[in-house]
Structure 1
Amino acid sequence: MTQSESLPSQRRSRPTMREVAALAGVATKTVSRVVNGVPTVDPAIVVRVRDAADKLGYRPNLTASSLRRGDGRTATIGMLVEDAANPFSAALTRTVENVARERGVLVLIGSLDEDPARERELARALIDRRVDGLVIVPAGRDHSYLISEQRSGTCMVFVDREPNLLDADAVVADNRHGAITAVNHLLKAGHRRIAYLGDQASIPTAAQRFDGYRHALELAHIETDDAIIRHEGPSEQAAIAATEQILSLPDPPTALFTSQNLVTVGASRALRTLGLQNTVAHMGFDDFPLADMLSPGVSVIAQDIERMGRTAAETLFSRLDGDQSPTRTVTVPTRLIQRGSGEIAARGPRHD
């Protein structure tokens, strides 16, 4: 082993603007003007500076540059979602990212895991890094901790759930009406014993969807039965266990309404394991990848995630551009996608 191999590797400091200037044979101010895209710099000098920067591996310090700008902008926004790996969160993030990219803005992303403390921690961490604004799918129920940041000029838009104790813009899906549509669809197929499997009841979206479920049954003069209602949370394994338990009851449901995409995936797996996928009807809330590839395909109430994300991003950038109109909540409609599982008819006589 050589001496150099036995020594710990030392991290080399990043090349500086002064080093680029020395290699290019120009003043440091000239390098700064090239980096900032000043159009009056001689094209030949621009080429020399860029060649020197490439040779040294120089990258500009955008944070430092933003502090020198008159508007203090950093060309970054923060985005906090439930779980970046969840298909809903992933699609929402990508849409916001696409809108931000059109404006040359970078999106910094964090996952909250339904933890209010983590929401506060990550929101403050992003604000400390001087993001220009925040897009938040909130985990907590008290957002007053953001009031001082809002007054200091940080713009923010909430998605999927409205803020509490904070006056801010929001973009949400029509959760209650979507759930009513799902249950009504099952009722039209002759089902009267419809199970509910959903997220934690404390989560606003879950509460709205459960309320829609109960309302549709009430209008059909059907009493809810706690024996076939589960609030398991967004866990595929928990949904599998709950589905198997419900379907093993002496009087099992003939249809399932699952009100969250991971719960839907778990219930779908359970139905196939039990060989009941062609017997028990199934409607999900939230679409998910490959739902149309199963047999039968999984019928869902789909949220218009692209519209929600684009509306949220455009609202945020509008605020950053100076829009001072009153805050508003935009409710985006859902739509029914029929693929087969939700159209399975109830066995036996219908009770219309």
Structure 2
Amino acid sequence: MSPILEPFTLGDLTLKNRVVMAPLTRSRSSDEGIPPDFAVDYYAQRANAGLIISEATNISPQAVGYALTPGIWTNAQVEGWKPVTAAVHANDGRIFLQLWHTGRISHPDVQPNGQSPVAPSALKPEGMAFTKSGLKPHETPRALETDEIPGIVEDYRRAAENAKRAGFDGVEIHSANNYLLEQFVRDSTNKRTDRYGGSIENRLRFPLAVVKAVTEVWGGKRVGIRLSPATTEPGKTPLDSDPKATFGAYIEALNGFDLLYVHTIEGVTQQTRDVPDEVDFGQIRERFRGAYIGNNQYTLELAEKDLAEGRADLFSFGRPYIANPDLVERLRTGAPLAEAPKAYWYGGGANGYSDWPSMNGPVAFRR
């Protein structure tokens, strides 16, 4: 058997294998941010993964950047997630919730009362926002006031508490893909002159305050974090001027919280595994004291190679999990992978979401 498909101990969790289901935004929640009933089937069908990381989940109304994405700030949302986590556990799976604030990658149409999105600095991103009435160009965000930032830290804390109430096994802090936390980390998007901008130490102050709050709820060994030093999407965001120094300092600071894992997008999300010279994923792997999850266009063969070379401990698969609920079995047998047309990726109902068959017909699972 491939070593990727053998059991693995992650902290105090025993996983079925080293396969991780990456977070996948599918935009099928209600206007109130409640996951649909058929999300229970969707996640339970994919409990063959050693670990599932949920679709990115908004920590507050202000955090929302895309229509029809789930939340974790209300009791109704917590209740909506409970059947999902119960079904994953009934099928001997493990599931973490990804905590999300999109920052400037948003639009007034999805913000409370049509307000402007918030960001470290009032810099308009390129690209389009996904709203209920279609794609619209991003608008210039409002720069957060200094005294607003501690309130967002508390939003993360409450979201982490709600994730525990909903039955998740842990949480992943989304500090990647140019959303709010990474907007603070990069000097290309953070032009602040207060204690949250300027030096690397200042730019890391808010993200590290979030990590502190979340680990105070869960303990470090049930918290992971996602990073993407080379990603320019969404919105064509420029890289940090010195990613090695910035993300090296970030990793060293994160080590102080004894986190379970770092989940790293190696290359540019959905585009390429090519890495610019100024980004060093080996540095992150070597300096981080917890487990390392590699992500971005992995195949079983590439995962086996990277495991043998000590480049990663676990490997996350995103788009392959859309149309292959039995992905682990397909990897085990070498069966071909089904491909989901992009029309099924975002929005809609159960069709193209929880109705993909396994190689041998409907997926058997326990509710």
Structure exhibiting the larger radius of gyration computed from Cα positions: 1
Shared fold, TM over 0.5: no
Greater RCO between the two (CA within 8 Å, min separation 6)?
2
Q: What's the TM-score bracket when you normalise by the shorter of the two chains?
A: under 0.3
Structure with the largest fraction of helix: 1
Query: TM-score, normalising length from structure 1?
Result: 0.25
